[in-house]
């Protein structure tokens, strides 16, 4: 049997896991003929990856059904689990035109029509099959018939443009699988595609998948871990301290912490928190310490909201922008680069802690036995756009083994002392609990995820 695989790339978010890590090289070593079925504007051939471009858009009704599914699921999860936090995953639509208002009315009608668990399953089936016979579907059928891959593996479960290629594969009896991209995706009702198999980070995520989608059986789920953290265990990827400091003109006498910026939706006051951290660092330095801040903004945040802070605290903050490329106006058209993988790993390797609002960077840093500080207070401002403390009510934080997984920064006044504790390596309890959390969230050893994915794909395609 052929060992040809189509790795479906419906948007750029899967590039980091499957294009830039050792995933592809490992698959080739195992005898796979790997083609990226590429729906993004990114030219994979430029980085030595075999690709087949897939162009075309889903039918206009498909997105409406997707939005209705998400609305109906979040309503259902709220009622079923008696937890209003699922409502926080809803985003109010922009109703700035008649067309937008009409679409929203259709979404609301469909969400109401398919409310309740049994009707929801019908809605999911409807969404999974809605592209059959449409133009994009026909293109996919033709391509699959010509190429005859043994399996189609989708790099994430969210985009509607993945529906047609996966449906076409199903109709041609080609096994399909999708990877659940992020640790917080399932409670947010972002599982859009339907496949034969689902690849998840951990046993915990496997139980979540069944919890939210009871029509999925255990035998359809493969627990593999995620390649996301594998670069931290790749020898030679991170710059040495001397090279890194020289490259970014860092002060060789200073030790640096990382402030990891968040997106403007999750943390609309993020620039104020960066300011508070910079004030604490300035105070520490006035007392004889030698500390600096490396600011890494969220890759999809191109706003100017940090500019004043960076200017005011230029003696404390060095801004090192992510090496992502903007190839469209939507957030998912802002694509990572292979160079950024090395940059992010180098920043982690050469800083002593990270501070942010509720990011998964806690797992990146604990891979290096370094702590994370979570900001858990609201800034003093005339117009509070969001209660930051409520971020930690999100469902994915319920998985933490204890409160000690990070340093909780409950006030601006806590920052200086927490930085000092991290510098003095008074972090044993934090590291132990964060490691427990990491092992719960992601199957260990964390550097073997790609290996486990290929083992599962071999079984799926019946290749031995």
Distance CA 183, CA 457 (A): 21
Burial class (CB in 10 A: 0-12, 13-18, 19+), 263: middle
3-state SS, residue 221: strand
Burial class, 349, CB count within 10 angstroms (exposed 0-12 / middle 13-18 / buried 19+): middle
- Spacing of C-alpha 456 from chain mean position: 22
Specify the pLDDT at position 332: 54
**Is the Cα torsion angle 347, 396, 69, 111 positive or negative in sign?**
negative
Domain map (residue ranges) of the chain: 4-58+131-226+446-460, 60-126, 232-441
Helix axes 117-129, 163-171, angle to 10 degrees: 80
CA atoms within 13 A on the CB side of 12: 21
CA distance 182 to 13: 10
Alpha carbons 336 and 42: distance in angstroms, whole number: 10
Q: What is the pLDDT of residues 266-287, one digit of tens each?
A: 899 999 999 999 999 999 999 9
CA distance 396 to 413: 28
The pLDDT score that the predictor gives to residue 464 is 39
CA distances from 459 to 205, 339, 349 (A): 21, 33, 36
Q: Tell me the DSSP string of 52-112.
A: EE------HHHHHHHHHHHHHHHHHHHHHTT-GGGGGG-------SHHHHHHHHHHHHHHH
Mode of pairing for the β-strands spanning 291-296 and 317-319: parallel
Q: How many residues does the chain have?
A: 464
Token pair 């060992």: residue? 3
Cα dihedral 397/398/402/405 (nearest 10): -10
Mean pLDDT estimate for the chain: 94
User: Structure pTM?
Assistant: 0.94
CATH of 4-58+131-226+446-460, one of 3.30.450.40, 3.20.20.10, 3.40.50.2000, 3.30.413.10: 3.40.50.2000
- Give the angle 136-64-109 at the CA atoms, nearest 5°: 145
Burial of 331 (0-12, 13-18, 19+ CB in 10 A): middle
Place of tokens 């668990």: 117
Is 232-441 a CATH 2.70.70.10 domain?
Answer: no
Task: Calculate the alpha carbon distances from 450 to 358, 374, 447, 455, 457 in Å.
Answer: 26, 30, 8, 9, 10
3-state DSSP call for residue 233? helix
Q: Note whether 316 and 281 are within 8 A (CB).
A: yes
- How many CB atoms sit inside 10 A of residue 125's CB? 12
Could you say which residues of the chain have pLDDT below 70?
1-2, 327-333, 463-464
Q: How many CA atoms lie within 13 A of 367 on its CB side?
A: 22
Pairwise CA distance, residues 358 & 267, whole Å: 9
Confidence (pLDDT) at 333: 61
**Whole-number Å distance between alpha carbons of 164 and 170:** 10
CA-to-CA distance for 370 and 93, rounded, in angstroms?
40
**For 375-426, what is each residue's pLDDT tens digit?**
999 998 888 999 999 999 999 999 999 999 999 999 999 999 999 999 999 9
């Amino acid at each position: 049997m052929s060992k040809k695989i189509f790795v479906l790339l419906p948007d750029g978010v899967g590039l980091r896991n499957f294009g830039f890590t050792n995933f592809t090289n490992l698959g080739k070593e195992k005898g796979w003929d790997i083609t990226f079925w590429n729906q993004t504007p990114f030219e994979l051939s430029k980085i030595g990856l075999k690709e087949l471009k897939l162009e075309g858009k889903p039918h206009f009704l498909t997105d409406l059904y997707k939005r209705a599914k998400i609305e109906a699921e979040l309503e259902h999860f709220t009622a079923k689990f008696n937890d209003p936090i699922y409502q926080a995953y809803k985003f109010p639509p922009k109703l700035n035109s008649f067309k937008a208002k009409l679409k929203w009315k259709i979404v609301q009608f469909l969400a109401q029509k398919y409310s309740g668990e049994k009707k929801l399953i019908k809605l999911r089936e409807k969404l999974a099959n809605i592209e059959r016979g449409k133009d994009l579907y026909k293109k996919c059928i033709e391509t699959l018939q010509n190429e005859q891959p043994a399996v189609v593996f989708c790099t994430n479960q969210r985009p509607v443009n993945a529906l047609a290629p996966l449906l076409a594969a199903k109709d041609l009896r080609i096994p399909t699988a999708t990877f659940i991209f992020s640790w917080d995706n399932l409670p947010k009702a972002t599982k859009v595609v339907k496949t034969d198999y689902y690849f998840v980070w951990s046993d915990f995520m496997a139980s979540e998948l069944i919890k939210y989608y009871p029509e999925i059986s255990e035998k359809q789920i493969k627990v593999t871990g995620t390649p996301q953290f594998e670069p931290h265990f790749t020898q030679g990827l991170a710059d040495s301290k001397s090279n890194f400091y020289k490259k970014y003109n860092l002060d060789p006498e200073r030790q640096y912490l990382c402030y990891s910026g968040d997106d403007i939706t999750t943390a609309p006051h993020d620039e104020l928190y960066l300011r508070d951290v910079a004030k604490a660092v300035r105070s520490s330095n006035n007392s004889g310490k030698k500390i600096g801040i490396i600011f890494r903004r969220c890759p999809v945040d191109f706003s100017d909201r940090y500019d004043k802070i960076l200017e005011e605290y230029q003696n404390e903050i060095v801004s090192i922008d992510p090496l992502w490329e903007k190839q469209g106006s939507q957030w998912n058209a802002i694509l990572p680069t292979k160079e950024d993988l090395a940059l992010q790993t180098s920043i982690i390797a050469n800083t002593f802690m990270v501070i942010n609002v509720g990011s998964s960077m806690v797992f990146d840093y604990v891979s290096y036995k370094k702590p994370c500080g979570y900001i858990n207070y609201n800034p003093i401002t005339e117009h509070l756009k969001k209660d930051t403390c409520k971020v930690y009510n999100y469902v994915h934080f319920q998985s933490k083994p204890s409160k000690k997984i990070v340093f909780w920064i409950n006030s601006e006044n806590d920052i200086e002392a927490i930085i000092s504790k991290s510098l003095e390596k008074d972090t044993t309890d934090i590291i132990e609990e964060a490691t427990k959390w990491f092992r719960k969230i992601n199957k260990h050893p964390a550097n073997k995820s790609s290996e486990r994915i290929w083992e599962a794909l071999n079984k799926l395609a019946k290749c031995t």
